Each structure stands twice: as structure tokens, then as C-alpha cells.
Amino acid sequence: MKLYSTNNKDLRVPFQEAVFNSLPADKGLYMPEVIPQLDPLFIRDIQQYSLQEIAFQIANVLIGDDIPADDLKAIVEDAINFDAPVKFLSEETAVLELFHGPSYAFKDFGARFMSRVMGYFSEKGEKLLDVLVATSGDTGGAVALGFLGVEGTRVTILYPKGKVSKVQEEQLTTNGQNIRALEVNGTFDDCQALVKQAFNDTTLNAELRLTSANSINIARLIPQTFYYFWAYAQLKAQGVKDVVFTVPSGNFGNIGAGLLAYKMGLPVKHFVAGTNVNDTVPRFLQSGAYEPKPSVQTLANAMDVGNPSNWVRIQDLFRNNLEELRGIISSYTYDDEETKAAMDELYAKYKYIACPHTAIAYLASNAYKAENPGEYASVFLSTAHPCKFPDAISEAVFFEIQLPDGAKSLYGKEKLVEELGVDYDSFKSFLLENK
């Protein structure tokens, strides 16, 4: 597998280099040189395969000889050891639940796969691998659990102070071992900027072996395609022919993976991106002008991103053709009051308890259906377990949530965290003084 930079189509690097370097020196993002096409017979019979079998086929087609098939199969089976079920709420509306992994968020797919790929490529005696990750909520917990105890690695998680939920913060700050947390007095965009600046700091990179665990890393993107194929397999087994996926979108890595799956041959009628008031992409699709703005804090905190990193990947997939993008992606944006109303509606109509991100996807799914009636399955993605958002869900409804055992075990654990400002020099000093 060879990859190029979105800023330099002539650049070619092997998969292993892209995994460890995360970002090209030119500040682009890595993309596959060739988008492989899946065997139509595999797609035709996909309902016959398990999630792990589908995941291996996708990974093998993308990664190729960079990881031998038997080793790749072992990585997939170890990393993707939980389900992602499709549940129908009505005859035409279903939810794809992506929160059945250890951190109760869809990012377990990417974090667990990536940590095992990095472990596979790492050699004993190499310099300690410093994994930097900025999180607006769920990425940090998934990465922390994905890398916890992995030999030869150390994870530094940056999260915005006061802008993650209590459960999310506990998942970030109570691990110890090779996981450390930095509470940044700023926004997620500030955290992301610090991480990006570190990767482009030649002095720092001479001292530390840095890599990223954010969705900017290609090893995070690949496994996120798995659950789109698995959802389609479940739907096909029930006789569904056409599907529209609605994705709660912040940094646009999740829907970017779905669009990569589409380019590989997954039959999808349309994609819908639901956002909170951080609406850079919806505004772009309407006007054609890409105008990032500072992120705004909302109930759906994992989507509080003002300048989505992965949007350049999506534009690259579609050769920056705005009309082609509009043909496959629609987008809708919602504020906190609308999000709360959607959470109440899901519970009142279906007895379904949803996190704020899931509620936004539900709203966007309904909006697209209203504008585009027809016979198709409308599947919205549930990206996090509702137990992670006690402040966003009414007390009476939250009381009915069945807490996973892992969430219960977080209560009472000591918080291990250091505070940090938004200036890069302080961050750099922390990394060098604690190397």
C-alpha cells in the first residue's frame, strides 16, 4: 500500500511510514495511491460473512502485502472483538450501534486496530513511541484503552478543560501506566493545533519519536470502513436493497471512512452529515466557500470542531468537485434545544435512549427522508453509549440506562492530570521535560 499527501500527489510512502509519521511534512493528510475495488461477488454474498471476516477482507485489500494475511487476520480478530448491531426502530428507520467496545464509542474500532498495527511494526529496542492525541470527548478514552499497557508506547492525551463529560474525563485521566492526560485551558481546536504543531517541529521530532492517534492517522481511518460494510451485510440479510447512512459529524473522519467504503464499491444510496452548531461543512456545501470558525461548546461535545481535519480527505476523494460532493452528501445542523427535543422524541416514540450525537444523526436522518421520500433503509449511527452524557440526559431517563461494568468501575478512581495553557511552548516544554 502506497500513500500520497493531499498536498503533494507525487509523494509516495509505504503504509508503515504513514502509520508512524501520521502527517506528511507538507501538512497534508495521507491518502491511498489507489482505492482498490472489492470483488462484486464478495459484495453480493456479504451477508454470509461475520464482522471479523468482512473486516479482514477490507483491511487485506487496502493494506496488501505490507502485513502478511495471517498476521493481519490475527490483528483484526484481536482488535475487533465486539459487535456493531443494526437495530430497527421502525420499518424504514434503523440505528447502527457503534458503542459496544471497551470505551463505549465508535472510536474503539480505529484505536484498537491502530494500536495493534503500531505494535506489529514496532521492533524491540526502538525508541519509545510517543502517541499524541487531541480529543473533544471520545477519541481519548478509546485511544487510552487501546494503548493501555502496550509495550514501547506512551500516550499523551490533550482535552479541553470543562468541555468533556464526567465519564469521558474519567476514561482519560484514571488509567496511569503509559497513559497521561493534559487538561488544556481552551477548545478542541486548540488541542488539535498543539498536536499538529508538534508534528511539524523538527527540534521536537529529533528528540522524540512522535505519532498521532487522531483520525488524521490513516490507521484510524481504515478500520472505520469495517462497520459500514458490516451494517450493509446485516441489512442485506433482511432484504434491504438501498441504504442511506446518516453520520453525526465533527472532525469528519467517521463519514470520511464511509465515503472511502463507498469508493471501494459499497452500495450506498446517499450519506447525510448531521452537525451541531459547528457548521463549517454544511455552510460549505451550501455556498461553496470553506470558512472555518472557532468551535462552540455544545451538548454533543465530540462534534465541537470548527475546522474539521478530515474534510480535505473527503474533498480529495471527490477531486474537489463540489457538485459531485453535493450529489453524495447532504448536511444539516442543529442546536442544543433541537438536540434535547430529539433525545426526548427517541425515548417517547421508541424507548430508545440516545446520546446527543446520536440524536443529531436521528434529526438529520428525518430531515433527509422528508426531502427525499422513497423506499430505502435510513440508518443513523449511534456513536457513543448514553451513559457517557449524564448532564445531557434527563435524570429520570438516565436512571433507566444499564451502565456497562467498565463505566461503574471508573467511579472513585484517582484523577491523574496536568493543566496546560494553549501556548505551544508550554506543551513542548512538557514533552521534553517528561521524555
Where in the chain are the domains? 37-65+108-219+413-433, 82-102+220-405
Kindly report which listed range (65-69, 195-199, 281-285, 429-433) carries the lowest average pLDDT score: 195-199
Task: Assign domain 82-102+220-405 to its CATH architecture.
Answer: 3-Layer(aba) Sandwich (3.40)
The whole model's pTM is what?
0.90
- Chain position carrying cell 500520497: 4
The set of cell numbers assigned to 280 is 463549517
Residue 412 has pLDDT above 70, yes or no: no
**107 tagged catalytic:** yes
Model confidence over 74-97: pLDDT tens digits?
A: 999 999 999 999 999 998 899 999
Residue 215 has pLDDT above 90, yes or no: no
CB 266 within 8 A of CB 229: yes
Q: Which one has a higher pLDDT value, 298 or 136? A: 298
CB 89 within 8 A of CB 95: yes
Task: Assign domain 37-65+108-219+413-433 to its CATH architecture.
Answer: 3-Layer(aba) Sandwich (3.40)
Annotated catalytic residue within 9, 27, 107, 369: 107
- Chain position carrying cell 421502525: 90
Model confidence over 122-154: pLDDT tens digits?
A: 876 688 999 999 987 778 888 888 888 888 889
Q: What are the residue ranges of helices labelled H in 7-68?
A: 15-21, 40-44, 51-63
Residues recorded for the chain: 435
The whole-number pLDDT of residue 408 equals: 59
Model confidence over 221-249: pLDDT tens digits?
A: 999 999 999 999 999 999 998 999 999 99
Q: What is the mean pLDDT of residues 293-321?
A: 93
Mean residue pLDDT across the chain:
92
d(CA 321, CA 375): 28
Residue 410 has pLDDT above 80, yes or no: no
d(CA 399, CA 386): 11
CB 393 within 8 A of CB 386: yes
Write the DSSP assignment of 128-160 as a string of letters.
PEEEEEE-SSHHHHHHHHHHTT-TTEEEEEEEE
Q: What is the mean pLDDT of residues 106-135?
A: 88
CB 96 within 8 A of CB 231: yes
d(CA 421, CA 434): 17
Share of the chain above pLDDT 70, in %: 98
Model confidence over 161-176: pLDDT tens digits?
A: 988 888 888 888 888 8
- Amino acid found at 136: S
Residue 273 has pLDDT above 70, yes or no: yes
DSSP structure class, residue 238: T
Answer yes or no: same fold for 37-65+108-219+413-433 and 82-102+220-405.
yes
Q: Pick the closest to residue 383 from 360, 405, 366 (CA basis).
A: 360
Cα 101 to Cα 81, 146, 258, 318, 417, distances in angstroms: 8, 10, 19, 31, 24
Model confidence over 317-334: pLDDT tens digits?
A: 999 999 999 999 999 999
